[in-house]
Structure 1
Amino acid sequence: MKKAIVGITLIFTSIISIAFTQKDKVPTVVKDAFSKKFPTVKRVNWQKEEVNEWEAEFKRKKKEYSANFLDDGTWQETEYEVDENEIPEHIISSVKASFSGYKIEEAEVSETVHGINYEFEIEKGKSEMAITIDSNGKIIHKESEDDERD
């Protein structure tokens, strides 16, 4: 009887494991869309980002990238970090004019079908903010981050 219970448990565990593996398997259409958009990239780490969205993490030109695709292969966004000296001057000027005294801690480029945005983590003392600026230098999002640590 114990052998039967152990056997059934093993079979059930295997079925569940296979079901989860199959469920989280990157659809071929998504892999194909990625290969078409980034034909020179060979190593990719895939993660399920949302219910119907996949995120590919990879290196390109010695930088860390992430690209998101829907289950049907539709590209959504590509993000990658940049150094401050790689950001157009009018974008930097917009940050400095709107957030005087803040220091840029991190900067990313976000490319979507709607265009390019610049995402920043900025800091002034204990005050931190996340901001997004469009390619024209207009602030399109800002969010204050609570820096208090207990």
Structure 2
Amino acid sequence: MKYQVTLLAFLILGLISCQNKSNAQAPEAVKKSFQAKYPGENDPDWHQDANGSWEANFKIDGEKYRADYNSDGSWIETENSLKKKNLPEAVLRTIKEKFGNEDFVEAERVDHHSKGIFYDIEFKQKGKNLDIEMREDGTILN
């Protein structure tokens, strides 16, 4: 019995340590950078991902967004989910022409610090899903 209690305690401790960090622990530089980029957003939900980047989840006009930052406060990217029907025509055309047989999973509009604006389209595949990045004109980036 003592062994089972010890094992259970370690399991619970392990699960707790794997959770994302809460917003109270986001570095001040990250919070200031977020406020500079999104001045009207005062209550984002902060989490730290497995890579150490800070993620701010928030809404603008009812739409969900996620902004990613390095620990020094430098902005990485901002994503927001889109329905397939809301993708640009050229992106939809490229999906139909090149990926017509693939099962669409999700799409995001991404504003990236070095790549600029692009659309991240995910298709279901056996094993790992296929992620395709496209410009607004339908040009495939990867």
TM over 0.5: yes
Q: Deviations over 1:43-82 (max 9, x none)?
A: 2111112555211111222122111111221110001101
Matches within 5 A, 1:58-97: 58-97=58-97
> What TM-score, normalized to structure 1?
0.67
Distance 2:85 2:48 in 1: 33
Distance 1:134 1:88 in 2: 9
Q: Is the 8 A contact 1:101 1:124 kept in 2?
A: no
- Unaligned stretches of 5+ in structure 2? 1-20
How far off is 1:122 after superposition? 2.5
**Corresponding residue number in structure 1 for 2:110:** 110
Higher strand share: 1
Matches within 5 A, 1:1-150: 25-50=25-50, 52-113=52-113, 114-123=115-124, 129-141=130-142
Classify the secondary structure of the residue corresponding to 1:139: coil
- Structure of larger gyration radius: 1
- Unaligned stretches of 5+ in structure 1? 1-20, 142-150
Q: Is the 8 A contact 1:115 1:135 kept in 2?
A: no
Q: CA RMSD in A?
A: 2.7
Percent of aligned pairs with the same residue?
29
How far off is 1:33 after superposition? 0.6
Distance 1:128 1:45 in 2: 27
